[in-house]
Amino acid sequence: MRYTLKYICLLLLSIAVASCHNLDDIQTEQEVTTEYGSIEVGFTGNTRATTTVISPEEAKNFLITVTQGDNIVRGPQTLGTMNMRFPVGQGYKVYAESCSEADAESGNNFWGKKRFTGESIEFGINKGETTKASVGMSVCNAAICVVIDKSMINYFKLSCSVSVSEGDRNLEWTYANAGTSIDGNVSEGQIAYFNIDETGSRTIHYSIKASAQGNITDVEGTLTLTPAKMSRLRLHKESGSYALTISVSQEDLFVNANETFTPDDVITDDGATDIVGGNEDFGSNNGGVDYDQYN
């Protein structure tokens, strides 16, 4: 009986080992038979007089996310470090952003930066072929600048400042960093950028303090910001009046892009951010992309 039991144990062990070998053979065969194609990414945009031009060097730092259906296949990862080779299949999309939403407000010492995003239409990847994913880029945040006319400088000689406080951000324009308007020539000076949420607009509060000999002016107000718009807060003083005049104008912000990056344009993938399924950066645990950030 003891030898019979020993024999049965050896038989079961042999069957288990054989099963493991068969499983390894199946996995190896699947890896060998996986077919691949490549993606080249092309950026497009609207050309206008007030346009931001995307340079090839900047584009390589764009954050790229590749999805297939509801799953994130790779990213977010900089274009310049992404492996552009993907398994053959349908339902792929490419998402691109010039910077993260957080960096759009915290960058440049909290003055922020212009953020543009875009996505391609769905496409398929064929074996041994390179498929172009065309991504139309547009500005998704808002900008504000302050212009102080020469009339203000001549009268409020002691000081003039415009302050905006939003959360951890405390921004201030003075004569030193504000734009100017002299003889019809307007410069923008320091620009601040603000993200816009799903409501489509954002209201910020500002405070103006100007000091002249014997006269102090303190004014508060609000500005409503909308995506892809530059709001210009202009201060000037009418002759013979002690009060300053505030005017607001807006202009559209555009992106000019006509760049295409092939797999040969980028370096070998470092693999650090390759994900199959969810990705914490997108606030998801079910493999879905946070599409709202691209609206």
pLDDT averaged per 10 residues, the chain (length 295): 49 50 50 82 73 80 95 94 94 96 95 94 95 92 92 86 93 94 81 94 94 86 93 84 74 74 60 34 32 35
Q: Which CATH class is domain 35-137+257-294?
A: mainly beta
So what's the pLDDT on residue 64?
96
In contact, 40 and 132? CB cutoff 8 Å: yes
Q: What per-residue string of b and e applies to 273-291 under the rule 16 or more CB within 10 Å gives b?
A: bebeebbebbeeeebbbee
pLDDT digit string (tens) for 116-150?
Answer: 999 999 999 999 999 999 999 889 999 999 999 88
Q: What is the pLDDT of residue 104?
A: 96
DSSP string across 114-178? --EEEEPPPEEE-TT-EEEEEEE-EE-SEEEEEEEEHHHHHH--SEEEEEEEETTEEEEE-TTTB
Looking at residue 208, its pLDDT comes to: 94
Within its chain, how far is the Cα of 48 from the centroid?
21
For CA atoms 192, 197, 202, 204, give the dihedral sign.
negative
Comma-separated ranges of CATH 2.60.40 domains in the chain: 35-137+257-294
Query: Could you say which DSSP state residue 50 is in?
Result: S
Which residues, in sequence order, are CB contacts of 102 under 8 Å at separation 6+? none
